[in-house]
Structure 1
Amino acid sequence: MTTILHIDSSILGGYSVSRTLTADIVAKQQALHPGARVIRRDLVVDAAFHLSDAHLAVFQGGAVNSPALGEDIAVGGAYADDLFAADVIVIGAPMYNFSVPSQLKAWIDRVCVAGRTFHYTANGPEGLLPKGKKVIIASTRGGVYTGDSPAAALEHHETYLRGVLGFIGLTDVTIIRAEGLSLGDEPKAAAIAEAKAQIEALAA
């Protein structure tokens, strides 16, 4: 049975384009994989703490000094479990200030764990997630950062996600992009329509 991990990180709730697109992507994957199990992670509604000195102390063998910290460390461990369990990983990633939301960065910090999802070898770092997993990113941006756009140098969003996911072994990455969403109603509608067409064209 196929397992789909559905992650959202937009703070815009029902107004979010990335949330609309991830819902469409998951629905398409469910159609392609009847009976698929979905693991849902809303990183805004049920957010993990950002890393702190207390987390690092526990990771290095120190005591858990509060129930809240213990629960949060368990959540972080579950995030990594999700990745190992999933066959398809769907990530909603709006661009905030040229990169990913802090909620998504906090998730990344909890799944990039030496000895769990990557390790260092004589030839450098190596991802530990099993091969064959597919990642589909719903990328949404107010401006345009592709092609010869003058803003292209400020794009630390998709490039960052490809890099950090590849670092832990997730190299089969498809990006469904809707950009130029803040440039007016017509460009926004066109960008969303194009993204939805790309979703409909996804294959198993």
Structure 2
Amino acid sequence: MQTLIINAQPDLTNKAHFSTKLQEMFLTKFAAQFPGATPTILNLYATQIPRIEEVQLLKVWNQPTLAADAAALAQTSADLLAQFKAHQRIVIVSPLHNFNVTSRLKDYLDNILIARETFKYTADGSVGLMTANYKVLLLQASGSIYTNDDRYTSLEFSRFYLQKMFEEIMGFDQFYIARAQGTATLPAAEVLTAAAQDLDQVFSQFYV
């Protein structure tokens, strides 16, 4: 089963980040479960991701005939979409930025949330097209804790946004999350132990 890891960590080469450690945990479990298999890894901050700007995606979407630069952008966007659709297991690795997804991850989603490709409009509302046993797992690191049902819980928009986009808009079968949380307040060993337990709980379900 093809797995795509979408790494949305801006400080990509810094191995000390908890989101990076989450990815390493996942890769260790993946290698044990699927010896010989290799997931595809897309590092968003090391990749050209077209943006919704006048000279980028808006130029592509609004012009019937494309100049060379716009055609190249259109091809890049199309390649990202094709890669996404070719993988039934999507793993998103990301820190929480101001209670939401990182900016490059939002740009990426703008290239895959495409009508008639990953969802379609109907008279009764949008319908997801990614229904052939697609699942997504969010590996998220955060300085605070968002599972205590306190004032921070309702502010964590990234999980809500991603779950709604993947399940309700694109039609994914299931959304999972494993967290390394409290990184700003708790000892690192405690954070990583809890994160490993989180990942253990969802990993087998993710690949059912």
**TM-score, structure 1 as length reference:** 0.88
Give the length in aligned residue pairs. 200
Look up the equivalent residue of 1:95 and give its one-letter code: L
The answer to whether the aligner puts 1:143 opposite 2:144 as a matched pair is yes
Taking the aligned partners of 1:34 and 1:87, their CA distance within structure 2 comes to 18
- Output the aligned Cα RMSD: 1.9
Give the structure 1 partner of residue 174 of structure 2: 172
Q: Does 1:20 align with 2:21?
A: yes
3-state SS, counterpart of residue 39 of structure 2: strand
For the Cα contact (< 8 Å) 2:91–2:138, is it kept in 1? yes
1:40-64 deviation digits (Å, cap 9, x = unpaired): 2100111313212342342244332
Q: Which moved more, 1:43-52 or 1:112-121?
A: 43-52
Q: Hey, what's the Cα distance between the residues in 2 that align with 1:24 and 1:47? A: 27
Q: Which amino acid aligns with 2:100?
A: S
Cα distance in 1 between the residues matched to 2:101 and 2:54: 23
> In 2 relative to 1, CA 4–33 (structure 1 residues): closer, same or farther, beyond 3 Å?
same
Aligned partners of 2:4 and 2:39 also within 8 Å: yes
Gaps spanning 5+ residues in structure 2: where?
Answer: none
Q: Distance in 2 between matches of 1:9 and 1:158?
A: 14
Moved more, 31-40 or 71-80: 31-40
- The residue that corresponds to 2:82 in the other structure is 81
The 5 A counterparts of 1:91-110 are 91-110=92-111
Assess if the C-alpha contact under 8 Å between 1:142 and 1:181 holds in 2: yes
Query: 1:199: how far off?
Result: 2.6
**TM-score, length basis structure 2:** 0.86
For 1:157, what is the secondary structure of its paired residue?
helix
For 2:20 and 2:80, the matched residues in 1 are separated by: 19
Question: Structure 1 residues 47, 97: closer, same or farther in 2, change over 3 A?
Answer: farther
Q: In structure 2, what is the equivalent of residue 58 of structure 1?
A: 60
How far did 1:111 drift? 0.4
- Alpha-carbon distance, 1:37 to partner: 4.1
Provide structure 1 residue ranges, at least 5 long, that are not aligned to the other structure.
none
Q: Give 3-state SS (helix, strand or coil) of 2:84's partner.
A: helix
Q: Could you tell me how far apart the structure 2 residues matched to 1:76 and 1:23 are? A: 28
Secondary structure in 2 aligned to 1:44?
helix
Residue type of the partner of 1:17?
F
* SS at structure 1 position matched to 2:115: coil
Residue range with higher mean Cα deviation, 128-137 or 100-109: 128-137
Tell me if the contact between 1:26 and 1:90 (Cα under 8 Å) persists in the aligned partners.
no
With over 3 angstroms needed to count, the CA separation of the structure-2 counterparts of 1:171 and 1:130, relative to structure 1, is closer
